[in-house]
Amino acid sequence: MNRLKHIAFIMDGNGRWGIKKRRGRNYGHLKGVEVVQNIVKASISFKIPIITFFVFSTENWKRPKTEINFLFKLINSYFEKEIHDVMKNRIKINFLGKLSNIPKKTKETIKKTIQITKKNKNILVNLAINYGSKSEIIDSFKKIKKNKSKISKTSIENNLYTSNLPDPDILIRTGGKKRLSNFMLWQLAYTELYFLDKLWPEFNKKDLSKIISKYKKIKRNFGGI
C-alpha cells in the first residue's frame, strides 16, 4: 500500500462557481476558503502530514484589480478571524512563493501566522502565493551560482522553495482543466495526477477520500513504463 506524505491542490473554479450561482467571482473565492478549511480538517483525519494549496500564481496579477484586492483581503481576514481554530487544530502554516509585490498587510499577516504556528505538528499547510514554478527553478539556479556550488539534482532541490519537503504523492486539480499551470513543475515529476470536472467550491471530503483510496491501490513505477 502506498504511503501518503504530501497532497497538492490546484483550486480551480472558484470564480466560475460564483458566476454560476449568480453571486459573482468574489463570492466563489469566499466559498473556496470554506472548502480549504474543510479539506485541511479532512486531511488531518486521514493523517496526511503535508498539503499544499496553489492560492495565487504569478500569472494571477493579470486579473482585474478589484478581484486581486479581494483575494488578499480574504487572506488577511481569514487568519485574523480563524487563527484560534488554526492553533486549536495544531496546523502549521508555511509560505511558498515570492513576498515581493504582495501587499504590505498581507506580508505581515503571512509572517505573523508562520511565526505563531511554527511549533504546531498536526499538519503542515503550504500556501503557494505569488508562486510560479519556472521562477522558482530559476531562483534555485541563482542561489547555486551565488554559493558557487556544483549543479546537481540534489543542489537544485535543496534550493527550491520546497527544500526539505517531500514531493507531492498526489496532485488534485478541480475545474475541468488538465494542465499544471506553472505549478511545482520540478516536484510533480512522479506525482499521480487527478483532474476533476468539479469546481473547487464543490469539492469535499468524500471526493478526497475516493482519490486517496485509488492512490493506495495503484502500483507506482517512478519512471518505469
Do 40 and 84 touch, CB atoms closer than 8 A? no
Name the grid cell of 60: 494571477
Residue 128 and residue 146: Cα distance in Å, rounded? 25
The packing angle between helices 65-88 and 25-45, to 10°, is 30
Known catalytic membership, residue 207: no
What's the one-letter identity of residue 33? Answer: V
Exactly one of 60, 76, 89, 120 is catalytic; name it: 60
Q: Has 167 been annotated as catalytic?
A: no
Euclidean distance between CA atoms 113 and 3, whole angstroms: 29
For residue 50, the cross-strand partners are 6, 124
Q: Which residue among the candidates 12, 26, 130, 169 is catalytic per the annotation?
A: 12
Q: What are the catalytic residues?
A: 12, 60
